[in-house]
Amino acid sequence: MKTRGDQLVLALAYALRGRTGVLSEEDRYAIAELVVASLRAHGDPWRLDDDLPPFFHGPPTQGYR
């Protein structure tokens, strides 16, 4: 299962993709991992090591009438 930190790395690397001509994919992920490591080094109030909650895709199948 992914952690909140893993999800943040993916989101940051995705946000940096607009710099395609400047940064390679490896550089984007290296920058994102460095940012998350820096956040963890400052006490981790964001709970980056916690597992992500389960995600149920699609509309509810019960409960609406």
Q: Where are the domains of the chain?
A: 4-41
pTM of the model: 0.75
The Cα–Cα gap between 34 and 2 comes to 18
Query: With pLDDT > 70 as the criterion, what percentage of the chain qualifies?
Result: 80
pLDDT at position 55 is 72
Name the H helices within the chain. 4-15, 25-41
Beta-carbon-side half-sphere exposure of residue 34 (alpha carbons within 13 Å): 6
